Each structure stands twice: as C-alpha cells, then as structure tokens.
Amino acid sequence: DVVREDRDGWMYFLYRKGSGIRRNGEFVDTAFIEKVIAEVPEVDDVYVYGIASANGVPGEKDVVAAVVPTNPDLDGFDVQGLFRLCRQKLEANAVPSRIQLLDQIPKTASEKPQDRFLVEALVIGLGVVAAVAVVAGALGLVQGTGGRQLVGHPRVVGVLHHEAQAFVAWLKAELGMKK
C-alpha cells in the first residue's frame, strides 16, 4: 500500500502498488475481461494489463487488451466490433480503453506475458500514430481534422502490430510516391 502522512501523524491510503488494475476506484477482474475477449472466434490470444491512467489519479490505471487475431492479416480485424462486444458483456469499468493488436504477446520462457514490452510497444505505436496523423493532416490526406480521422484507419492501427513496412508502402501510395 502507498500512503501519505499528514502533519499530525495520520496515515492516508492513496493506492495499492502492484499489478492489480484499479479504475474509477474499483478493482478490475482482468481474467474475466480476457475470458470475454478469448471467446471471440477471431481472437487467438489475449492478455489484459494496465497503464497509467489518462486522468492522472495516483494508482488508477487504464485497461489495455493485447489481442492476437487468428488471421495474420490484421487489416481485416474488427476492432470496433470487439469494443462493442466488450461494452455489451462487461461492466463499464472493465471495458478496455485501448485494444492493442499484435502478431504475438511477448512472454517469458514460462509463458508469463511481459507487460513492460507490451507497454513499450503501445507507447511507441501511439507516438507513431500521432505523428503520422499530424503529417497526413498537414499533407491534406484528411482535410480539416489535423489527421485525427487517420487514427482509426486499419493501416495506422497496423503500426501497433509491427506492420511498419506495409504502412510505409501504403502511405507512399497515398502520397503518390514511388514504392
């Protein structure tokens, strides 16, 4: 437990340190989220983990579902459909904030998922997505949005699952550049 002490010596609970995911003051059952997502026929593997919450509250985490689709052509995976399913079958606090598509979930020799590699891939991917969206908006690929519409495009989502070369080829084609 992480606590703070006031001037009078009183201790106040702030949050519990560890791998548990607390969202909006409640602990989230990651195993149940994984079960719901794993039942989708297009999903081969899933692991749910938490990242620092966008709201900045100490100890709070946003829920991320790392998903390996059964079809290696990740363009055809219906991310929005998976979000809809999660909203139908899970409590509001348990619905993932992000779905991270991957070719495989990084694991140790004993098959334990490695959160640090997943977080690293997510942060790098989101940075690339944001940069590409801004560049595409500046180049007029998506007008009047600064590139925000591109963020949901399957090829941009592809950056998160290591399709960088295919993404670059797609972007060059969109820009009319030689391959």
> What pLDDT does residue 176 have?
61
Distances (CA, A) of 165 to 70, 136, 158: 21, 17, 10
Distances (CA, A) of 93 to 82, 104, 130, 150: 16, 26, 26, 27
* pLDDT 10s digits, 36-67: 999 999 999 999 998 878 777 877 888 999 99
- Average pLDDT on 117-136 reads 63
Share of the chain above pLDDT 90, in %: 24
pTM for the whole structure: 0.64
14 SS3 class = strand
Cα 122 to Cα 98: distance, rounded to the nearest angstrom: 9
Token output for 136: 């595409």
Question: Could you tell me which of 3, 126, 101 has the C-alpha nearest to residue 44?
Answer: 101
Cα 156 to Cα 145: distance, rounded to the nearest angstrom: 16
Taking the alpha carbons of 87, 90, 96, 99 in that order, is the dihedral positive or negative?
negative
pLDDT at 20 over 80: no
* pLDDT 10s digits, 57-109: 877 888 999 999 998 766 678 888 999 999 999 999 999 988 888 888 888 88
> What pLDDT does residue 38 have?
96
